[in-house]
Amino acid sequence: MNNLKTPWSDNVNTTAYPRPQMQRDSYHSLDGIWQYKIVKGDINAQFDGNFDGEIRVPFSPESYLSGVNRFLSPDEVIIYSRSFARQESNGRAILHFGAVDYECKIYINGNYAGGHIGGYTPFEIDISQYIKNDNIIDVYVVDPSDTAPIARGKQKIKHGGIWYTPTSGIWQSVWIEYVPEVYIQSLKITPDFDNKYVDIKINANAKCQAKILMQGKTFTTDNGEIRIKIENMQEWSPESPYLYYFDVIYGKDKVTGYFAMRKFSLGKREDGKPCFMLNNKPYFMTGLLDQGYWSDGLYTPPSDEAMIYDINLAKRCGFNTLRKHIKVEPLRWYYHCDRLGMIVWQDFVNGGGKYKKSAILILPNLGINIKDDNYSFYSRKDETGRRQYFTEMNETLDALYNCPCIGLWTPFNEGWGQFDSLKVCAYLKNLDSTRLIDLNSGWSDQGGEIRSIHKYFVKFVMPKKEKRHVSLSEYGGYAMKIDRHTFVNKIFGYAIYKNQAKLDKALADLWSKQIIPAKQKGLCAAIYTQLSDVQYEVNGIVTYDRQKIKIDTNALKALNDKLTQ
């Protein structure tokens, strides 16, 4: 495994409260050093009690920061174990996992407590009946990666080019909360920008009167639902990311949350050309493709400071949007986008069987679209995998619905495991009507409200007869290698430049000759590839280890300012 270190490698900190939108005082982190064992077998493998060594959670065994640097193969299981003491004697104990890739089973003091399937979404288990004063937690995890028709993102065992090292096991924070017998399980927060109110729905394990405390006022509800009028409403935008904070008191339980007043929609400019709208005003979204990989932690950011660095670097360059590409981040990342002011386009995690070049590359680039009810063509023959896609979509929506920063969902990218996309779109709209949907990002266009285009190698020209809103959802990919800050010598990029001066000039030409003229003709958004180098790809504006910025940030900001003014 590669050991490129980021500026935060020697000061790792993952113990900040993992779920900022529903925060309690009774938070006890289980991040840190665990014991681990990797053995041949499946999720029900027998364990002899002898460990291989220590692993630092929440970093995957493949990562440098885990201390293991060991690939977990599909025919192996990784077993985690650690002890912990009960911190509070009353109420219920709820065990939380931010994400575990891919399937896991959890045991408390030898008792099976629960499990989860899906590598990208949070889950919780009530362990009250198993917990004692002193406890042992064991977690068994298997990860078939790209050998099974599951959601896997850009992970590939035989990685290279645009495919990356797999991440297995626990890769987001683990923690325990102690709650009263009657407690809040989740909140659903829906702002109505036009009518200046917010709906708050409280999901709890039993009915109780609720009080919402906000801006010096108290609001009550007996049925768990309340609509609050927002006086002197302050809008959220990347330029002014105002957040409203509130407390919910539910019997003896209390949580703190937040929301923002903002609206994403489709509209037209004064000249009649289509545009994306933010808060009922035309708003050009200029952004970066963001894979969310780290040279030291792979899927897992080494600290809050690392996440904040990436977001602020994008803002320094004049970008107002990040497209989170085929990955779901820890909830703290979205919180920082909320409070710092960064719109997020959130991809759902793609998967399925082994992709066919004819489906994901050859035919789409010849302008040939195959209907995506052809499950064989799009590597989606497995019915269980299709059902699991909807399960993970629901879980992703549940986890991220309240994040003000998310303005757009992307169900499918470039035909990767695409299927029944118009049905998927209708299903998604029923779950969330407050955001835009880029249904088929790149190609294999089946319809939808946005025409989404990926363009590399050749000049981008606005399609003349397209009546839908046009988004250039990937472009550029200009690359430059910096020695001693590169993952491998064999590099990948869509155009390679030898020094910063040439790269800066190429970016200036790209913006001035293609992107800015396209905006004048009705382009609604543009997402440049990409924020950081990732392994073989050296087309980031910053290196994989975040040690070297490769472009003139002021010059790039000036170019983006021409798009957003």
For residue 179, pLDDT over 70 is answered with yes
Give just the sign of the alpha carbon dihedral 376, 378, 382, 387.
negative
Q: What percent of the chain has pLDDT over 90?
A: 94
Residue 317 to residue 113: CA distance in whole angstroms: 47
Q: How much is the mean pLDDT over the chain?
A: 96
State the DSSP H helix or E strand holding residue 495, giving kind and residue range, or none if neither.
Answer: strand 495-496
CA distances 100 to 96, 115, 299, Å, are: 11, 10, 11
Residue 104 to residue 114: CA distance in whole angstroms: 9
For residue 10, pLDDT over 50 is answered with yes
Burial annotation 204-216 (CB, 10 A radius, 16+ → b, else e): beeebebebebee
Residue 187 to residue 398: CA distance in whole angstroms: 9
The per-residue pLDDT for range 57-81, each reduced to its tens digit, is 999 999 999 999 999 999 999 999 9
For residue 372, pLDDT over 60 is answered with yes
Residue 493: what pLDDT?
81
Q: Please name which of 431, 507, 516, 502 lies closest in space to residue 472, comparing C-alpha atoms.
A: 516
Which residue shows structure tokens 């066919």?
356
Residue 490: what pLDDT?
81
The per-residue pLDDT for range 385-397, each reduced to its tens digit, is 999 999 999 999 9
Residue 105 to residue 124: CA distance in whole angstroms: 12
Q: Which amino acid is at 119?
A: G
Residue 354 to residue 461: CA distance in whole angstroms: 32
Tokens read off for 231: 């006086």
The per-residue pLDDT for range 325-365, each reduced to its tens digit, is 999 999 999 999 999 999 999 999 999 999 999 999 999 98
Under 8 Å CB-to-CB from 380, ≥6 apart: which residues?
Answer: 149, 352, 353, 386, 417, 418, 419
Q: Mean per-residue pLDDT for 463-471?
A: 94
* Residues 90, 95, 100: CA angle, nearest 5 degrees: 175
State the DSSP H helix or E strand holding residue 267, giving kind and residue range, or none if neither.
Answer: strand 264-268
Using alpha carbons only, how large is the chain's radius of gyration in Å? Answer: 23
Which residue shows structure tokens 């924020």?
531
Give just the sign of the alpha carbon dihedral 24, 27, 31, 32.
positive
Query: What is the side-by-side order of every strand in the sheet holding 174-179?
Result: 27-29, 174-179, 92-97, 123-126
3-state secondary structure of 186: strand
For residue 106, pLDDT over 50 is answered with yes
Residue 2: what pLDDT?
64
241 preceded by a cis bond (ω within 30 of 0): no
How many angstroms from the chain centroid is the CA of residue 508?
30
Q: Please name which of 544, 8, 9 lies closest in space to residue 293, comparing C-alpha atoms.
A: 544
CB 58, CB 37: distance < 8 Å: no
The per-residue pLDDT for range 24-65, each reduced to its tens digit, is 998 999 999 999 999 999 999 988 889 999 999 999 999 999
Residue 132 to residue 339: CA distance in whole angstroms: 39
For residue 17, pLDDT over 90 is answered with yes
Please tell me which residue, 3 or 390, carries the higher pLDDT value. Answer: 390
Q: Mean per-residue pLDDT for 379-383?
A: 96
Burial annotation 430-455 (CB, 10 A radius, 16+ → b, else e): eeeebbbbbbbbbbbbbebebbbbbb
Residue 340 to residue 413: CA distance in whole angstroms: 27
Q: Mean per-residue pLDDT for 258-286?
A: 97
- Which of the four pLDDT bands, split at 50, 70 and 90, describes residue 253? very high
Q: Mean per-residue pLDDT for 73-100?
A: 95
Residue 494: what pLDDT?
85
- Cβ atoms within 10 Å of 302's Cβ, excluding its own: 26
Residue 2 to residue 63: CA distance in whole angstroms: 8
For residue 90, pLDDT over 90 is answered with no
Per DSSP, the residues of 201-231 read EEEESS---EEEEETTEEEEESSSEEEEE-T
Q: Which amino acid is at 409?
A: W
CA distances 79 to 151, 158, 292, Å, are: 22, 24, 26
- Which of the four pLDDT bands, split at 50, 70 and 90, describes residue 255? very high
Residue 1: what pLDDT?
47
The per-residue pLDDT for range 200-236, each reduced to its tens digit, is 999 999 999 999 999 999 999 999 999 999 999 999 9
Q: Mean per-residue pLDDT for 537-557?
A: 97
Residue 510: what pLDDT?
98
CB 91, CB 24: distance < 8 Å: no
Residue 223 to residue 43: CA distance in whole angstroms: 41
Indicate the pairing of strand 76-85 with strand 134-142.
antiparallel
Residue 340 to residue 311: CA distance in whole angstroms: 8
CB 143, CB 168: distance < 8 Å: yes
Q: Please name which of 233, 218, 234, 224 lies closest in space to residue 189, comparing C-alpha atoms.
A: 224
The per-residue pLDDT for range 126-175, each reduced to its tens digit, is 999 999 999 999 999 999 999 999 999 999 999 988 999 999 999 999 99
Tokens read off for 332: 């703290």
Residue 475 to residue 388: CA distance in whole angstroms: 31
